[in-house]
Structure 1
């Protein structure tokens, strides 16, 4: 494998970044589709529906890329990559039921089609299947990481639910919530790949640091896009976070800079949709968006800070390019 330098290159498309693992990612997608092949036609239809569109595939890609520089054995890495994507999908199904969301990735949500009760049960089924796949790694350390991450995600979602419409949250509350709901699964993806590839402990620690920080950067950008993107591009209504009472970094900065004339405070008190539009307009007519991107970029830099200590391969370069891709979304 040709070694590459750590010099940053212009932002690439995902298919270019995924080049070292593209064939294996295709196997991940095929395996995900296979979970709907069960002798229960009604459930099979729901499973087929929910895995039809798997998004960017960042989490399974992280598992594979984190392993690629070491003892890369797809017999163990494939089920792990499938597991993290199933866990992610399960959290989305549950999130949509909690938030009463109508669309996700441009299609109707499970709860909007079949109801909240079925969505909860389907999410449970997906979590169970994720556990089944992670058990196929036959690696107790990874199985324990999986269980710990599931607990962290659950506590993060509970924290978000309990903190809804609370304008008095601090930034540490936000970052704690972001770690729980997003970064913890990124961290599981990268750590598990390194562990399953028998990477040195120092490299496992680097992969954890990368996953932690990239996950936070990813969520910050996602929160920015809730203000700057379109419903067509996002596959869900713009301003969804505000509507659901979730205080994200852009809304937090707006509250910090306008403590008196603050539409977010009015929104959280009255639940009046017109304050969502007012908040979005104020954010877009300020420096809040670039300031939030700067925070995301700092986390992305922290993610890549110690990657130089792992073997200099195209998979390492792909991890660096992926960090650039994450913070580049919506900036062009």
Structure 2
């Protein structure tokens, strides 16, 4: 995002810090609604532009600036979601939400918010992982906004109704429908998974070109989806079946250039992998692990979705001893 909005206000405005302190919360909200950090930043920038387009008297008359900013940002996101559906119809290949590196500011939660009911609501950690964001993409714009505002950020349906432009009862139905989609996409109960170990084992089997080991690590019904956006070469359609994925990844291993290294990284709060070449991240791999097997792999190669991985953001590199070429720790 660009620098703080400056148009139409005095830099000595005593309310400036309070207004700008809402930015992190708004980015968290908008990213979950849009699945794109770039679009989320644009939506938040537009929200602040509208705030400072008002006169000081108009701003002073707003009882809760935070609530006003949330309402405006949510409405902007709702409009963007509607137009995004049209844009994604012409998108080259599969569209996957923009992955995020490990950054503590992406964790959400409102101070003083009520404790979530685990029987009805998705935990805040789950609301950031890529598997959850992919499910959100299947919702209508109104479902997505109502669900995120109520189930993730704990806004009452009366407030959601004002934002979505429907009755509280209608918003309750929207959130309920969205909740059913989330539950339907959740894997069946399995023994506690250790996704970091599974992803690490997958990395080692991939580097060893060990097809048998890859098959053991993949669910028989696993799928792999790639997003190159027409800007990077990748497989155009999802690959279905663990065995087929294993053979594809083994074939890819034979094509990996000597200057490319696979590294373990956190992707949207979950263990993942990245491919680095000539000092730049060229691919991000996100995984959904069920039990001790991989159920889904998402491969993001669209360079426009990898900008946060190449601008100094995220956690330090993590190297696994004994595997692949090395980079200096500088």
Q: Same fold (TM over 0.5)?
A: no
Give the structure with higher Rg (CA): 2
Under a length normalisation based on structure 1, what TM-score does the superposition of the two structures give?
0.27
> Quick check: which one's helix share is greater?
1
> Quick check: which one's strand share is greater?
2
